[in-house]
Structure 1
Amino acid sequence: MSDYTAIQKDFYRESGRWLSTFQIWAKCINPNLHYVYILRKAQKYRKKSIAGLFWRLLLRHYQIKYGFQIYPETEIGEGFYLGHWGALVINPKTRIGKNCNIAQGVTIGQQNRGKNEGFPVIGDEVWIGPNAVIVGSVNIGNNVLIAPNAYVNFDVPKNSMVMGNPGKIYPAENATQGYINNKIF
Protein backbone atom coordinates (compact mmCIF):
# COMPACT_ATOMS: atom_id res chain seq x y z
CA MET A 1 0.00 0.00 0.00
CA SER A 2 2.95 2.36 0.36
CA ASP A 3 2.95 2.84 -3.42
CA TYR A 4 -0.34 4.71 -3.28
CA THR A 5 -0.29 8.50 -3.07
CA ALA A 6 -1.98 10.59 -0.40
CA ILE A 7 -4.61 11.57 -3.00
CA GLN A 8 -5.42 7.93 -3.73
CA LYS A 9 -5.66 7.19 -0.01
CA ASP A 10 -7.97 10.17 0.57
CA PHE A 11 -10.22 9.08 -2.30
CA TYR A 12 -10.18 5.48 -1.04
CA ARG A 13 -11.89 6.71 2.14
CA GLU A 14 -14.85 7.95 0.06
CA SER A 15 -15.37 4.90 -2.16
CA GLY A 16 -13.63 1.99 -0.46
CA ARG A 17 -11.88 1.26 -3.77
CA TRP A 18 -8.46 2.06 -5.19
CA LEU A 19 -8.98 4.38 -8.13
CA SER A 20 -7.03 5.10 -11.30
CA THR A 21 -6.02 8.66 -12.16
CA PHE A 22 -8.98 8.91 -14.53
CA GLN A 23 -11.41 7.66 -11.87
CA ILE A 24 -10.01 10.19 -9.40
CA TRP A 25 -10.59 12.98 -11.92
CA ALA A 26 -14.14 11.73 -12.51
CA LYS A 27 -14.80 11.85 -8.73
CA CYS A 28 -13.63 15.49 -8.61
CA ILE A 29 -17.16 16.52 -9.55
CA ASN A 30 -17.74 16.25 -5.78
CA PRO A 31 -16.63 19.62 -4.27
CA ASN A 32 -15.13 17.96 -1.16
CA LEU A 33 -12.97 15.56 -3.14
CA HIS A 34 -12.07 18.26 -5.65
CA TYR A 35 -10.81 20.51 -2.87
CA VAL A 36 -8.84 17.70 -1.21
CA TYR A 37 -7.22 16.88 -4.58
CA ILE A 38 -6.10 20.49 -5.09
CA LEU A 39 -4.98 20.78 -1.44
CA ARG A 40 -2.79 17.68 -1.76
CA LYS A 41 -1.25 19.02 -4.99
CA ALA A 42 -0.54 22.37 -3.29
CA GLN A 43 1.07 20.51 -0.38
CA LYS A 44 3.19 18.39 -2.71
CA TYR A 45 4.49 21.30 -4.77
CA ARG A 46 4.61 24.05 -2.15
CA LYS A 47 8.42 24.20 -2.22
CA LYS A 48 8.69 24.35 -6.01
CA SER A 49 8.29 27.83 -7.45
CA ILE A 50 6.18 27.65 -10.64
CA ALA A 51 4.18 24.50 -9.86
CA GLY A 52 3.74 25.62 -6.24
CA LEU A 53 2.49 29.03 -7.30
CA PHE A 54 0.02 27.47 -9.75
CA TRP A 55 -1.44 25.05 -7.18
CA ARG A 56 -1.59 27.75 -4.44
CA LEU A 57 -3.48 30.12 -6.76
CA LEU A 58 -5.85 27.33 -7.75
CA LEU A 59 -6.32 26.38 -4.10
CA ARG A 60 -7.10 30.02 -3.22
CA HIS A 61 -9.76 30.12 -5.95
CA TYR A 62 -11.45 27.00 -4.56
CA GLN A 63 -11.14 28.20 -0.97
CA ILE A 64 -13.36 31.10 -1.97
CA LYS A 65 -15.66 29.01 -4.16
CA TYR A 66 -16.28 26.18 -1.66
CA GLY A 67 -15.81 27.96 1.66
CA PHE A 68 -12.91 25.81 2.90
CA GLN A 69 -9.95 27.44 4.64
CA ILE A 70 -7.34 24.69 4.75
CA TYR A 71 -3.82 25.70 3.80
CA PRO A 72 -0.94 23.68 2.31
CA GLU A 73 1.09 24.24 5.50
CA THR A 74 -1.43 22.25 7.54
CA GLU A 75 -0.06 18.78 8.35
CA ILE A 76 -2.79 16.30 7.44
CA GLY A 77 -2.41 12.52 7.54
CA GLU A 78 -3.53 10.11 4.85
CA GLY A 79 -7.18 9.18 4.52
CA PHE A 80 -8.48 12.73 5.08
CA TYR A 81 -12.23 13.00 4.49
CA LEU A 82 -14.45 16.08 4.30
CA GLY A 83 -18.07 15.10 4.91
CA HIS A 84 -19.78 18.15 3.44
CA TRP A 85 -18.62 21.36 1.85
CA GLY A 86 -18.77 24.89 3.16
CA ALA A 87 -17.64 27.08 6.04
CA LEU A 88 -14.67 25.07 7.28
CA VAL A 89 -11.68 26.80 8.93
CA ILE A 90 -8.47 25.02 9.96
CA ASN A 91 -5.44 26.96 11.22
CA PRO A 92 -2.33 26.28 9.12
CA LYS A 93 -0.29 25.21 12.17
CA THR A 94 -2.79 22.50 13.17
CA ARG A 95 -1.68 18.87 12.87
CA ILE A 96 -4.25 16.24 11.91
CA GLY A 97 -3.65 12.47 11.98
CA LYS A 98 -4.71 9.68 9.63
CA ASN A 99 -8.29 8.67 8.81
CA CYS A 100 -9.92 11.84 10.11
CA ASN A 101 -13.39 13.03 9.11
CA ILE A 102 -14.36 16.68 9.36
CA ALA A 103 -17.91 17.94 8.74
CA GLN A 104 -19.15 21.36 7.67
CA GLY A 105 -19.02 24.42 9.89
CA VAL A 106 -16.01 23.20 11.89
CA THR A 107 -13.43 25.63 13.25
CA ILE A 108 -10.04 24.34 14.36
CA GLY A 109 -8.10 27.36 15.50
CA GLN A 110 -5.42 29.12 17.41
CA GLN A 111 -5.77 30.56 20.88
CA ASN A 112 -3.71 33.73 21.26
CA ARG A 113 -3.45 33.98 25.04
CA GLY A 114 -3.99 32.11 28.25
CA LYS A 115 -2.96 28.65 29.38
CA ASN A 116 -3.88 27.02 26.04
CA GLU A 117 -2.11 29.48 23.79
CA GLY A 118 -1.24 27.67 20.56
CA PHE A 119 -2.65 25.20 18.05
CA PRO A 120 -4.49 21.86 18.21
CA VAL A 121 -2.93 18.47 17.52
CA ILE A 122 -5.51 15.92 16.41
CA GLY A 123 -4.79 12.18 16.53
CA ASP A 124 -5.74 9.34 14.18
CA GLU A 125 -9.31 8.22 13.51
CA VAL A 126 -11.02 11.33 14.81
CA TRP A 127 -14.53 12.25 13.70
CA ILE A 128 -15.41 15.94 14.08
CA GLY A 129 -19.12 16.73 13.74
CA PRO A 130 -20.83 19.75 12.19
CA ASN A 131 -20.17 23.15 13.80
CA ALA A 132 -17.71 21.79 16.36
CA VAL A 133 -15.00 24.18 17.59
CA ILE A 134 -11.53 23.08 18.70
CA VAL A 135 -9.20 25.86 19.87
CA GLY A 136 -5.85 26.25 21.57
CA SER A 137 -2.87 24.07 22.30
CA VAL A 138 -4.90 20.93 22.91
CA ASN A 139 -4.22 17.30 22.09
CA ILE A 140 -7.06 15.17 20.77
CA GLY A 141 -6.27 11.46 21.16
CA ASN A 142 -6.86 8.62 18.71
CA ASN A 143 -10.35 7.17 18.20
CA VAL A 144 -12.21 10.28 19.38
CA LEU A 145 -15.66 11.46 18.34
CA ILE A 146 -16.35 15.17 18.75
CA ALA A 147 -20.11 15.62 18.59
CA PRO A 148 -21.87 18.31 16.57
CA ASN A 149 -21.71 21.79 18.16
CA ALA A 150 -19.15 20.70 20.79
CA TYR A 151 -16.69 23.29 22.09
CA VAL A 152 -13.27 21.81 22.90
CA ASN A 153 -10.50 23.85 24.53
CA PHE A 154 -9.01 21.02 26.61
CA ASP A 155 -7.09 17.80 25.98
CA VAL A 156 -9.19 14.77 25.05
CA PRO A 157 -7.85 11.27 25.85
CA LYS A 158 -7.98 8.47 23.29
CA ASN A 159 -11.10 6.28 23.02
CA SER A 160 -13.60 8.91 24.06
CA MET A 161 -16.42 11.17 22.91
CA VAL A 162 -16.87 14.88 23.58
CA MET A 163 -20.34 16.39 23.68
CA GLY A 164 -21.77 19.75 24.62
CA ASN A 165 -20.79 23.36 25.01
CA PRO A 166 -18.70 23.45 27.12
CA GLY A 167 -17.61 19.97 26.08
CA LYS A 168 -17.77 17.02 28.42
CA ILE A 169 -15.69 13.84 27.90
CA TYR A 170 -17.31 10.39 27.89
CA PRO A 171 -15.09 7.28 27.69
CA ALA A 172 -16.00 5.03 24.72
CA GLU A 173 -13.85 2.18 23.38
CA ASN A 174 -15.69 2.23 20.04
CA ALA A 175 -16.15 5.99 19.81
CA THR A 176 -15.78 6.25 16.02
CA GLN A 177 -17.12 2.82 15.03
CA GLY A 178 -19.56 3.33 12.16
CA TYR A 179 -18.44 6.95 11.72
CA ILE A 180 -15.07 6.37 10.06
CA ASN A 181 -15.31 3.94 7.14
CA ASN A 182 -12.75 2.59 4.67
CA LYS A 183 -9.76 3.27 6.91
CA ILE A 184 -6.21 3.43 5.60
CA PHE A 185 -3.83 1.32 7.69
Structure 2
Amino acid sequence: MEFFKYVKQEIAVIKDRDPAIKSTMEVFLYPSFHAILKYRKAHKLYLKKHYYRARRISQKTARKTGIEIHPGAQIGEGLFIDHGHGVVIGETAIIGDNVTLYQGVTLGGTGKESGKRHPTVGNNVLIGAGAKVLGSFTIGDNCKIGAGSVVLENVPPNSTVVGVPGKIVIQNDVRVNDDLDQVHLPDPVQTEMDDLKSENARLRVRLDKLEKALESVKNP
Protein backbone atom coordinates (compact mmCIF):
# COMPACT_ATOMS: atom_id res chain seq x y z
CA MET A 1 0.00 0.00 0.00
CA GLU A 2 2.87 2.33 0.85
CA PHE A 3 4.42 1.68 -2.57
CA PHE A 4 1.27 2.78 -4.39
CA LYS A 5 1.03 5.87 -2.19
CA TYR A 6 4.60 6.76 -3.15
CA VAL A 7 3.95 6.16 -6.86
CA LYS A 8 0.82 8.34 -6.82
CA GLN A 9 2.64 11.10 -4.94
CA GLU A 10 5.69 11.01 -7.21
CA ILE A 11 3.56 11.15 -10.35
CA ALA A 12 1.88 14.30 -9.03
CA VAL A 13 5.22 15.89 -8.07
CA ILE A 14 6.93 15.23 -11.40
CA LYS A 15 3.94 16.32 -13.49
CA ASP A 16 3.66 19.51 -11.44
CA ARG A 17 7.34 20.50 -11.65
CA ASP A 18 8.52 19.25 -15.02
CA PRO A 19 6.86 20.95 -18.01
CA ALA A 20 8.51 18.42 -20.34
CA ILE A 21 6.36 15.51 -19.18
CA LYS A 22 3.58 14.59 -21.59
CA SER A 23 2.11 11.44 -20.06
CA THR A 24 1.85 9.72 -16.71
CA MET A 25 3.81 6.70 -17.97
CA GLU A 26 6.87 8.90 -18.48
CA VAL A 27 7.24 9.12 -14.71
CA PHE A 28 8.44 5.52 -14.68
CA LEU A 29 11.32 6.49 -16.98
CA TYR A 30 12.68 9.14 -14.61
CA PRO A 31 15.94 8.20 -12.84
CA SER A 32 14.83 10.17 -9.79
CA PHE A 33 11.66 8.08 -9.51
CA HIS A 34 13.69 4.89 -9.16
CA ALA A 35 16.46 6.48 -7.08
CA ILE A 36 14.06 7.79 -4.44
CA LEU A 37 12.06 4.55 -4.40
CA LYS A 38 15.25 2.55 -3.79
CA TYR A 39 16.34 5.08 -1.17
CA ARG A 40 13.11 4.50 0.78
CA LYS A 41 13.82 0.77 0.82
CA ALA A 42 17.48 1.22 1.75
CA HIS A 43 16.62 3.74 4.48
CA LYS A 44 14.37 1.22 6.22
CA LEU A 45 17.21 -1.29 6.24
CA TYR A 46 19.61 1.37 7.53
CA LEU A 47 17.30 2.18 10.43
CA LYS A 48 17.29 -1.53 11.30
CA LYS A 49 21.13 -1.45 11.25
CA HIS A 50 21.38 -3.62 8.14
CA TYR A 51 24.08 -1.26 6.90
CA TYR A 52 25.68 -3.48 4.27
CA ARG A 53 22.38 -4.36 2.61
CA ALA A 54 21.32 -0.73 2.67
CA ARG A 55 24.57 0.48 1.11
CA ARG A 56 24.45 -2.29 -1.49
CA ILE A 57 21.06 -1.03 -2.68
CA SER A 58 22.20 2.59 -2.75
CA GLN A 59 25.39 1.84 -4.65
CA LYS A 60 23.63 -0.30 -7.25
CA THR A 61 21.08 2.48 -7.68
CA ALA A 62 23.84 5.07 -8.06
CA ARG A 63 25.43 3.06 -10.87
CA LYS A 64 22.10 2.72 -12.66
CA THR A 65 20.72 6.23 -12.21
CA GLY A 66 23.72 8.48 -11.57
CA ILE A 67 22.03 9.62 -8.34
CA GLU A 68 23.76 8.69 -5.08
CA ILE A 69 21.63 8.94 -1.96
CA HIS A 70 23.14 7.55 1.23
CA PRO A 71 20.58 5.35 3.00
CA GLY A 72 21.22 7.24 6.24
CA ALA A 73 19.91 10.52 4.85
CA GLN A 74 16.52 11.75 6.07
CA ILE A 75 14.24 12.89 3.24
CA GLY A 76 10.74 14.32 3.52
CA GLU A 77 7.90 14.12 1.02
CA GLY A 78 7.81 15.67 -2.42
CA LEU A 79 11.52 15.55 -3.31
CA PHE A 80 12.01 16.19 -7.03
CA ILE A 81 15.39 15.56 -8.68
CA ASP A 82 15.30 16.93 -12.22
CA HIS A 83 17.55 15.00 -14.65
CA GLY A 84 19.57 14.03 -11.59
CA HIS A 85 22.87 12.76 -12.95
CA GLY A 86 25.68 13.57 -10.51
CA VAL A 87 23.43 14.34 -7.54
CA VAL A 88 24.99 13.29 -4.22
CA ILE A 89 23.20 13.32 -0.86
CA GLY A 90 25.33 12.50 2.18
CA GLU A 91 24.63 10.24 5.14
CA THR A 92 23.62 12.86 7.70
CA ALA A 93 21.81 15.17 5.27
CA ILE A 94 18.25 16.11 6.22
CA ILE A 95 15.85 17.26 3.50
CA GLY A 96 12.44 18.74 4.20
CA ASP A 97 9.27 18.61 2.12
CA ASN A 98 8.79 19.85 -1.47
CA VAL A 99 12.48 20.25 -2.27
CA THR A 100 13.78 20.46 -5.86
CA LEU A 101 17.33 19.47 -6.81
CA TYR A 102 18.81 19.84 -10.29
CA GLN A 103 21.61 17.80 -11.85
CA GLY A 104 25.02 17.86 -10.23
CA VAL A 105 23.87 19.06 -6.82
CA THR A 106 25.95 17.91 -3.85
CA LEU A 107 24.71 17.92 -0.27
CA GLY A 108 28.06 16.93 1.20
CA GLY A 109 30.50 17.39 4.04
CA THR A 110 33.82 19.18 4.28
CA GLY A 111 35.76 16.11 5.34
CA LYS A 112 36.74 17.73 8.64
CA GLU A 113 33.71 16.89 10.75
CA SER A 114 32.27 13.94 12.62
CA GLY A 115 28.70 13.25 13.64
CA LYS A 116 26.34 15.57 11.75
CA ARG A 117 28.47 16.33 8.70
CA HIS A 118 25.98 17.23 6.00
CA PRO A 119 23.49 20.07 5.52
CA THR A 120 19.91 20.34 6.67
CA VAL A 121 17.62 21.64 3.92
CA GLY A 122 14.28 23.14 4.89
CA ASN A 123 10.91 22.95 3.15
CA ASN A 124 10.15 24.40 -0.30
CA VAL A 125 13.81 24.82 -1.27
CA LEU A 126 15.22 24.87 -4.81
CA ILE A 127 18.90 24.11 -5.43
CA GLY A 128 20.13 24.85 -8.96
CA ALA A 129 22.31 22.74 -11.25
CA GLY A 130 25.84 22.08 -10.05
CA ALA A 131 25.40 23.80 -6.69
CA LYS A 132 27.48 22.48 -3.80
CA VAL A 133 26.17 22.74 -0.25
CA LEU A 134 28.95 21.57 2.06
CA GLY A 135 28.84 21.27 5.82
CA SER A 136 26.55 20.71 8.79
CA PHE A 137 24.52 23.93 8.56
CA THR A 138 20.94 24.77 7.64
CA ILE A 139 19.30 26.08 4.49
CA GLY A 140 16.09 27.72 5.70
CA ASP A 141 12.59 27.26 4.29
CA ASN A 142 11.64 28.81 0.93
CA CYS A 143 15.22 29.41 -0.24
CA LYS A 144 16.74 29.33 -3.72
CA ILE A 145 20.37 28.36 -4.32
CA GLY A 146 21.56 29.51 -7.76
CA ALA A 147 23.18 27.17 -10.29
CA GLY A 148 26.89 26.62 -9.66
CA SER A 149 26.86 28.23 -6.21
CA VAL A 150 29.00 26.95 -3.35
CA VAL A 151 27.26 27.35 0.02
CA LEU A 152 29.36 26.99 3.17
CA GLU A 153 27.25 28.58 5.91
CA ASN A 154 23.71 28.96 7.21
CA VAL A 155 21.13 30.51 4.91
CA PRO A 156 18.10 32.16 6.61
CA PRO A 157 14.59 31.43 5.34
CA ASN A 158 13.20 33.22 2.27
CA SER A 159 16.66 33.89 0.81
CA THR A 160 18.26 33.62 -2.62
CA VAL A 161 21.96 32.69 -2.71
CA VAL A 162 24.34 32.87 -5.68
CA GLY A 163 28.08 32.86 -6.27
CA VAL A 164 31.29 31.21 -5.05
CA PRO A 165 31.29 31.35 -2.13
CA GLY A 166 27.54 31.77 -1.94
CA LYS A 167 26.17 35.19 -1.00
CA ILE A 168 22.63 36.12 -0.04
CA VAL A 169 21.26 38.49 -2.69
CA ILE A 170 17.57 38.43 -1.80
CA GLN A 171 15.99 38.03 1.63
CA ASN A 172 12.39 38.82 2.39
CA ASP A 173 9.13 37.28 3.47
CA VAL A 174 7.94 36.27 0.00
CA ARG A 175 7.64 32.55 -0.64
CA VAL A 176 9.85 31.43 -3.51
CA ASN A 177 9.02 27.73 -3.77
CA ASP A 178 6.72 28.23 -6.78
CA ASP A 179 9.40 30.08 -8.77
CA LEU A 180 11.45 27.36 -10.44
CA ASP A 181 13.56 29.69 -12.61
CA GLN A 182 17.16 28.84 -11.62
CA VAL A 183 18.79 31.09 -14.26
CA HIS A 184 17.49 34.65 -13.92
CA LEU A 185 19.04 35.45 -10.56
CA PRO A 186 20.98 38.53 -9.43
CA ASP A 187 24.72 38.46 -10.22
CA PRO A 188 26.75 39.82 -7.27
CA VAL A 189 30.01 39.73 -9.25
CA GLN A 190 28.55 41.87 -12.04
CA THR A 191 27.12 44.23 -9.45
CA GLU A 192 30.58 44.67 -7.93
CA MET A 193 32.08 45.29 -11.37
CA ASP A 194 29.45 47.93 -12.16
CA ASP A 195 30.16 49.65 -8.84
CA LEU A 196 33.90 49.66 -9.57
CA LYS A 197 33.32 51.11 -13.04
CA SER A 198 31.15 53.88 -11.59
CA GLU A 199 33.73 54.68 -8.91
CA ASN A 200 36.51 54.72 -11.51
CA ALA A 201 34.52 57.16 -13.67
CA ARG A 202 34.00 59.49 -10.68
CA LEU A 203 37.71 59.40 -9.81
CA ARG A 204 38.66 60.21 -13.40
CA VAL A 205 36.38 63.27 -13.40
CA ARG A 206 37.81 64.42 -10.07
CA LEU A 207 41.40 63.89 -11.26
CA ASP A 208 40.72 65.84 -14.42
CA LYS A 209 39.39 68.78 -12.39
CA LEU A 210 42.43 68.69 -10.09
CA GLU A 211 44.82 68.62 -13.05
CA LYS A 212 43.10 71.62 -14.64
CA ALA A 213 43.17 73.52 -11.34
CA LEU A 214 46.87 72.76 -10.92
CA GLU A 215 47.56 73.85 -14.50
CA SER A 216 45.75 77.17 -13.92
CA VAL A 217 47.90 77.80 -10.84
CA LYS A 218 51.10 77.14 -12.75
CA ASN A 219 50.01 79.23 -15.72
CA PRO A 220 47.84 82.12 -14.37
**Structure 2 length normalisation: TM-score?**
0.66
Residues 107, 133 of structure 1: 8 Å contact kept = yes
Give the drift of 1:65: 2.1
Q: Which amino acid in the other structure matches residue 34 of structure 2?
A: H
Cα 1:24–1:46 change in 2 (3 A) is farther
Residues 58, 69 of structure 2: 8 Å contact kept = no
Q: Which amino acid in the other structure matches residue 174 of structure 1?
A: R
Q: Which amino acid in the other structure matches residue 28 of structure 2?
A: C
Q: What is the match of residue 37 of structure 2?
A: 37
Residues 104, 129 of structure 2: 8 Å contact kept = yes
Q: What is the match of residue 88 of structure 1?
A: 87
Greater helix content: 2
Q: What is the match of residue 130 of structure 2?
A: 131
Residues 32, 85 of structure 1: 8 Å contact kept = yes
Aligned residues: 168
Rounded Cα–Cα distance in structure 2 between residues aligned with 1:82 and 1:93: 19
Query: Which deviates more, 39-48 or 68-77?
Result: 39-48
Q: What is the match of residue 183 of structure 1?
A: none
Rounded Cα–Cα distance in structure 2 between residues aligned with 1:112 and 1:27: 36
Q: What is the match of residue 176 of structure 2?
A: 175
Report Cα offsets for 1:27-62 as digits up to 9, x if no partner. 322222122222222223445699x93x75444222
Cα 1:7–1:74 change in 2 (3 A) is farther
Rounded Cα–Cα distance in structure 2 between residues aligned with 1:6 and 1:27: 12
Q: What is the match of residue 20 of structure 1?
A: none
Rounded Cα–Cα distance in structure 2 between residues aligned with 1:48 and 1:152: 33
Cα 1:178–1:98 change in 2 (3 A) is same
Look at both structures and tell me which one has the larger radius of gyration over its CA atoms: 2
Greater strand content: 1
Report Cα offsets for 1:62-108 as digits up to 9, x if no partner. 21122211022100001111111211111111111000011111111
Residues 14, 27 of structure 2: 8 Å contact kept = no
Give the drift of 1:134: 0.4
Rounded Cα–Cα distance in structure 1 between residues aligned with 2:151 and 2:49: 38
Rounded Cα–Cα distance in structure 2 between residues aligned with 1:49 and 1:124: 28
Runs of 4+ in 1 over 6 A off after TM superposition: 23-26
> 5+ unaligned residues in a row in structure 2: which ranges?
17-22, 182-220
Residues 6, 78 of structure 1: 8 Å contact kept = no
Rounded Cα–Cα distance in structure 2 between residues aligned with 1:134 and 1:32: 19
User: Which structure is higher in RCO with an 8 Å CA cutoff and minimum separation 6?
Assistant: 1
Q: What is the match of residue 112 of structure 1?
A: 111
Cα 1:48–1:174 change in 2 (3 A) is closer
Q: Percent identity?
A: 30
Q: Which amino acid in the other structure matches residue 14 of structure 2?
A: E
